[in-house]
Structures are given as structure tokens and as C-alpha cells.
Amino acid sequence: MPITEFLENNAKLYPDDVALIEIAPQMLEKAKITWKEYALIQPNPEESGRKEMTWKEFNKEANRFSNLLLSRGVKKGDKVAILLMNCLEWLPIYFGVLKAGAIAVPLNYRYTAEEIKYCVELAEADVLIFGPEFIGRVEEIYDRLTRIGQMFYVGENCPSFADSYDKFITYCSSKTPDIEITDEDDGAIYFSSGTTGFPKAILHRHKSLVHSCKVEQNHHGQTRDDTFLLIPPLYHTGAKMHWFGSLISASKAVLLKGIKPEWIIKAVSEEKCTIVWLLVPWAQDILDAIDRGDINLDHYELSQWRLMHIGAQPVPPSLIKRWKEKFPNHQYDTNYGLSESIGPGCVHLGVENIHKVGAIGKAGYGWKVKICNPDGTAVKKGEVGELAVSGPGVMKCYFNDEKATNEVLRDGWLYTGDMAMEDEDGFIFLVDRKKDVIISGGENIYPVQIEDYLRKNDKIKDVAVIGMPDGRLGEIAAAIIELKDGMHSSEEEINEFCRDLPKYKRPRKIIFAEVPRNPTGKIEKPKLRQKYCGESLVAAQIKR
């Protein structure tokens, strides 16, 4: 069945249960009462900082947008680009696109005007729906988007070049449109994060979306009693596919529009959240805020919080050790995935395997994995090779890019570009990105191993290791180190700290600077190479 059936069923079985809550903490920060009480006394819901939507309302809004699209001539297989910050309208709009038989195309909210144009054209989008934060960017390019036939705007003061979403959906039927959708129909195009070049358009069928629902619930056991705190951007598979566990279990989700540690902890406390998915920097910021005394855990109700899980990047074991010291009763899981495998879950640690923290785990529900030599044959346990995955969640293709598709899809396997190894117990450890491996004097150096080691230093907040050109060795390892607030260190001190590393793994250059990360938490190493190495090495890395 298509993923839209889950929403239909929830609306029929639990029409009055709350499905989504949107919280804008910057509007509620000064409230001396609970956020819910503050929202209730505000006459204008748009200014209350807290809004709710039931499953019945969710389904109706999705149906209205679906019928609006159909009334404007949108056909099955057309593409609708979504350019919105996280908001209460986001998911109903997404499902409205799917219910029309169209293909949803979520866009990264950090894209520049030209990047928006590039991705819209790459996906061959027919419709664009955007919010107030993007008026200026869309205005720069709207007259050059020759394929886009219609634009809808979500919010007040609709610009002249778009139609008002809020105005037109009020006239549309809230009944489910009569559009036949099957598992094999195309459902969504997501974009790769672009950490190694221009984003690719990743096409998924409905069966991929449905499988991600099943994977998430199987791994984390969501029931109707759970409440999921959703913080990452919905345009990305990571956030949405974790929320799919709430969809399949008809449980509540809280959309938090902010990442300050105090806001996260307060949201968990006031909304009685049971599951929180964090990125490494957010978890680290929470722990640092507790250590500084900015957060006193005794002031919050957190006993219901049962699971904290992390994904999108390698997780330092030292971070989880610190987390368990502060939150000893939490279950912990880490999830590995990529947009080409419909987000997290093709490999996961499992809450029962916390003794293996540092590993990404084993094959997820319904998935198969192998670690390969360049010719596709499996390596021996303990040896490093490329991680490949196979299962119902693998993408259909890179849209309109047969060459790139054939490079990563071979004989039913998706080659991830991540280097990994399997230990004697069958647990998989990420070693590094294939394109990030540093070759120094003929030795392969895996930056993640150095990064994990350096993160054990109490003064270091974040670190990225890249290869820098060297006339004698080809490349050397350079560590870009971001220190915690108020901390000071020196190159000599870091070198002394690294003396226990094998000599060839020790960073040859130390740079104290901010470590840039994209919205999904991944280190933007191309930016660092551009800044510290120049064009030549960037090009060399991309060609590998």
C-alpha cells in the first residue's frame, strides 16, 4: 500500500488525537508559565508560539492541497518542490502532493537562489510552494524558472508572483481524491547533501517510503503512547523517516523550531516527549550546558524520556559515555543511512547493544549489508572495504543521471561510498568516507579515527581532519579544531595529546577554527579543503 494509507487510517481511527505540535520557543522563552498555558491565553494562534493539529485536521489539510493541485492541472507523476522551514503546514503539504499522485521534492532551506534554481530544474519540478523566509531568493529567479507553471506561498502578505496557499485551499474539498497510487509509483525526490559536490536528485518509490516506516517502528518500538521530539529539518530524509515511526504508530510529534539546549530540554519536559533524535553537536551542547550549570535537570520532568538516538554522522564513544552519566536510564541507539537508502536504518546499533558504542551496528530490519573490495567481492572480517546495502528502501535511481546511478547501483546493491570494517561479533564500524581517505606516503589514513581520538580531549568541542597537499608525502593529515567556549590550547599541547596515536596517524598540522556542519550535522569538508588547501586538492578529492 502507499504511505498515504497510514495517514488515512490514523484520521479514521484517532480523528481527535493530536498528531502534530509546532513550538516556536523564541516566542515562548519569556513565559513564566508553561508553554501550553501561555499558548492558551494568546488570542491569536499565530502569535502564541504553540499550535496543534489532530490526525483528522492533518488528513483534511493534505486532501485540500491535493485537490488544489489537481484543480490546477497537476497530473500523476508531476513534481512539486517544497521550500519551507519546519512548520505545522509542512507535512500536510507533503502528503497532499503524494495524494495527488505527484512526486514531492523537498528543498534544503539553506540553498541560495541559484541552488534552488539548479535543484528545481534538475528535478524537473512543475510547481513550487515556498514560505516567507524565501521570498527574496525566489524573487531573484522566478522569471527564469521556465518549467515551473505555478507557485504557491504559505504565509501572510503573498508576493505578486505567487498564489496564496492559505487562501485557495479554503475553497478546496477535504475529501480524499480518487487517485490510484501503488507501491511501485514514484513518491519523492530527495537531494544528496552535496558534501562532495553538486547535489544529486534521488528518486524513491512509495514502497521505499513505506519500508522506512516499518524499519523505524521495528527498531524503536513506537506506540500510541510515545511523543517524538522532531528538531532536524523536514526536507531531509533523516528527520522525516524517524517521524515515520510516529505516522505508523499514530503517535504524537513535536516540531521544535530551535536547537538551544534549554529549549530541547524544556520541550521534552513540558510536552512529555519520550523519544528524541539528536545530532552529535546538539547532544554535545546539551551536555556542556549541564556541566556549565545553564541547565539543572532537577528543574524538569524527564522521567518519561526513554530513548535518545543519533545518526547522520559517526558518533564518538566518549560522547555517549558522558550522556549515560547524565541520563543513566536512557536507551541509546545509533542509526546509519543515507538519502539513497531512504534515510536512517539500513544499519543500526540496537538499544540492546550499547556495549558496542562506536559501531554503527548490524543490518537493519529488512536490509542486507556487505563490505566489499573494489570488484564487489566481500573482504575478510577485520579488513576495510566499501559498505554496500540492499533492501526495499534502496532508491530507484538518480533522476536523469544514468551514469551516476550505474556507479552506485550494481546487481541490486547500493554502494555507499563509506569505508567500513566488520568485527568478530558481526558489528560494523565506519572507517571514513571513501573520498575523505588521506593517502600519506602510501599509507591510508582514515580521518574519522583521528577525529574520534581528538574528541576525547576535554577542551575540544569539534574537530575535522582533512588531507593537505605535501610535496614529499602527497598528503598530510590536518586537524581543524574548534575549542569549547572559554578554553585555550596550543599546537604543542595537541601534539603532546596525540603521542599515543601511531606516528603516521598523528595530524601534521593543527588549525584552531570553527568546524562547519550542514543542517544534518555532517562536516562540510569541501569547504575546509577550499579554505585551507585550494582548488587543486578539492578537485583531486572529487575525482577519486
Cell numbers that stand for 241 in this block: 523517516
Residue 106 gets the label, from left (phi > 0), alpha (psi -120 to 50) or beta, of: beta
CATH code for position 478: 3.30.300.30
Does the residue 10 lie in any domain?
Answer: no
Does the residue 425 lie in any domain?
Answer: no
Asked if residue 331 lies in contact with residue 294, where contact means CB atoms within 8 angstroms, the answer is no
Does the residue 515 lie in any domain?
Answer: yes
The pLDDT of residue 536 is 41
What would the DSSP string read from start to end of 465-490? EEEEEETTTEEEEEEEEEEPTT----
Does the residue 17 lie in any domain?
Answer: no
- Separation CA 211–CA 394 (nearest Å): 10
Does the residue 461 lie in any domain?
Answer: yes
Which residues, at least 6 apart from 146, have a Cβ–Cβ distance to it below 8 Å?
A: none
Does the residue 390 lie in any domain?
Answer: no
Q: How many CB atoms lie within 10 A of CB 326?
A: 13
The pLDDT of residue 45 is 64
Total number of domains in the chain: 1
Give residue 523's domain range.
437-543
- Separation CA 145–CA 59 (nearest Å): 31
The pLDDT of residue 472 is 64
pLDDT one digit per residue (tens) for the chain, 544 residues: 899 999 999 999 999 999 999 999 888 877 777 888 877 887 676 677 899 999 999 999 999 999 999 999 999 999 999 999 999 999 999 999 999 999 999 998 888 898 899 999 999 999 999 999 999 999 999 999 989 999 999 999 999 999 999 999 999 999 999 999 999 999 999 998 654 457 899 999 999 999 999 999 999 999 999 999 999 889 988 888 899 999 999 999 999 999 999 999 999 999 999 999 998 878 988 999 999 999 999 999 999 999 999 876 667 788 889 999 999 999 999 988 888 999 888 999 999 998 898 889 999 999 999 999 988 888 988 898 999 999 999 999 999 999 999 999 999 999 998 889 999 999 999 876 667 778 776 567 878 889 988 988 999 999 999 988 876 677 889 999 999 989 999 999 999 999 888 787 899 999 999 998 876 667 888 788 888 886 443 333 333 3
Does the residue 409 lie in any domain?
Answer: no
Q: Provide the 8-state DSSP code for 1.
A: -
CA-wise closest residue to 182 among 49, 276, 56, 76? 76
Does the residue 537 lie in any domain?
Answer: yes
The pLDDT of residue 46 is 66
Cell numbers that stand for 493 in this block: 599541547
